[in-house]
Structure 1
Amino acid sequence: MGENAMGRRQALRGAGIAAGGVAIAGLATATPAMADNGLLGSWMCVRQDDGTPDKIRVVVSFADGGVIVTHDISPAGPPFTGTWSRHGKWFQATFWTGFPGEQGPDSVGPTARVRLKGKVSGGTLTATYRFTVFAPGSDTQVVESGSGKLSGRRINA
């Protein structure tokens, strides 16, 4: 496996793909976290890419207005931001992040998109996800992709 492939894989792992995240959910409102059938707020989750034994701790946050923020916290990775919506008892989300290029933090690097679909039942959030990593400067040239699952419970204030 080439050095670039390993670098992308390490960046992807560190990025906290599927559902990862630190949240900004509803801090400015008095709306309880149990609103919207219990989805709003932040969730401590564990995610696992299909085909790997690694389990990553991630915070996933759902805010009013359809904002989602995810962040792998162990091991740590960059935050992802995007949008979510509900469809009956199911929700779906799409969120993105970027990585530094080979010339350092100010250079164009790969971007990653995660598409998540899940539900909340019995106080547990469960979901599956698909991730796609795009070549630097492109939103069509795929350099890596995969899928996984996550589950977790609400973080109480």
Structure 2
Amino acid sequence: MRGAPLTADEAPQDRNVAVWSLISVALAFAVFCGWFHWRRLSPHWTQRDLFWEYYHQSTPDEPIGAYLMNWRGETFYSRNTVRQVGRAAPAATLQDFLNGPGARKWMLVEQARLAALRGAIGGNARLRVVESRNNKFVLTLLEKPEEKQPMPGPLKEPEKPGPFGAPP
């Protein structure tokens, strides 16, 4: 190194202040990410909130399907009760799923494939988006139009996220 030599050695307390300041900033950043940032992102990185809505708004005779999906998250959160719809065997076709038992059917679909699902259904069922806050997936409800069903009350408004960004 060229230049003037140091006139005095670096004081040890200066080095301690620098090290402890860096440790404090790193710890504060870790707490911020863990307690706030990732909690706010969690609804977009998981299907947990969509299945929370499904389990709280559906009845036991209302099945759920996953349209053109193979993410494995829907299998995990549905406890292996979701039917894969639109894929090759052994998955069901959309018409088989719609003609199955139950007046209402729930469908999980990617945001980008929602229009394709609307087109595939045509006039065979009425599609209503129930939950779309997730930026990757949408929870929808399919109702058969030809059956006279008692009008259910309005779907419950989704509860505001708890203090950690997840439904209570």
- TMscore range, shorter length: under 0.3
Q: TM-score, normalised by structure 1?
A: 0.26
Q: TM-score, normalised by structure 2?
A: 0.25
Which structure dedicates a bigger proportion of its chain to strand?
1
